[in-house]
Chains A and B, each alone.
Chain A
Amino acid sequence: KQEVTQIPAALSVPEGENLVLNCSFTDSAIYNLQWFRQDPGKGLTSLLLIQSSQREQTSGRLNASLDKSSGRSTLYIAASQPGDSATYLCAPQGSGGGADGLTFGKGTHLIIQP
C-alpha cells in the first residue's frame, strides 16, 4: 500500500524566498506524480505532472523533480509571493493507473508573509 509523506507540514516565510517542499513515497512502482495546490475552502488545482520516465518538470516559477527509485519528489518555488500561500499536495499515481487512483500526502501548509 502506497504511503506518502510530505515535509515540512507547515512553512511560513517572507516573500521573495526560494522554497523547497519535499515528498516521499514508499512504493516506487508509480506511473506518474502530480503536485496540486489547495486554497482554503476550494478544490485542488493541478500544478505539475511528472511522468515516471522524467526527472523534472517546470511551469513558471515552479519546478518539480522526481527520483522514482528513491521514492522522492521535490517542488521548488522560486521568488515566492503572498499569492503562493496555500496547501501543497503531492500525489503519486500507481502503475495501475485509474485502477489505483492518486495517493495523497497530508500536504505542506505554506504561508508567504508580505
Chain B
Amino acid sequence: DTAVSQTPKYLVTQMGNDKSIKCEQNLGHDTMYWYKQDSKKFLKIMFSYNNKELIINETVPNRFSPKSPDKAHLNLHINSLELGDSAVYFCASSPTGYTEAFFGQGTRLTVV
C-alpha cells in the first residue's frame, strides 16, 4: 500500500539513451516533486508540479522533462543521458506546497 511509488528502482543505461522514471502517489496530494541526490548524497529539488502545472525548474538541463498525465502521476523523461546524470532520483508529494512532503523509495540511475 505504498503512498509514493517509483519505477524502476534501479536503471542502468548507456550514454546517449533516452529513459523515463515513473512516479505515482495514491495520497490525493496536489503537489508533486522530483529531487536528485548526487554521489555526495546532496539532495536538490529539480521540479515541482501543482495540479499539473510546472511551478519551478531549478537550473536543470532541458534534457530533463517532467510530464504529468494526471494529478497522481509525475514522470521524469531524460534525453541523451550523460555520465553526470548518474544519481538517485526521488519523487515526492505533499497535500499542498506548504505541507508535509512524502518521498518515494528512489530510483538509482547509472549511466555507463
**Alpha-carbon distance between A31 and B98 when the two chains are bound, in angstroms:** 7
B interface SS class: strand
Instruction: Find chain B residues with CB under 8 A from A36 CB.
Output: 103
Q: Is B68 an interface residue (CB 8 A)?
A: no
Nearest CB to that of B102 among chain A residues? A46
Indicate if the CB atoms of A43 and B41 lie closer than 8 Å.
no
Indicate if the CB atoms of A42 and B105 lie closer than 8 Å.
yes
Number of A interface residues in the complex (CB < 8 A): 25
Interface set, chain B 69-112, CB cutoff 8 A to A = 90, 92, 94, 96-106
Q: Is A20 an interface residue (CB 8 A)?
A: no
Indicate if the CB atoms of A98 and B90 lie closer than 8 Å.
no
Given known contacts A42-B106, A43-B105, is B40 in contact with A98 (CB within 8 Å)?
no
Interchain Cβ contacts under 8 Å between A and B, 6 examples: A43-B105, A46-B102, A98-B96, A99-B55, A99-B97, A102-B35
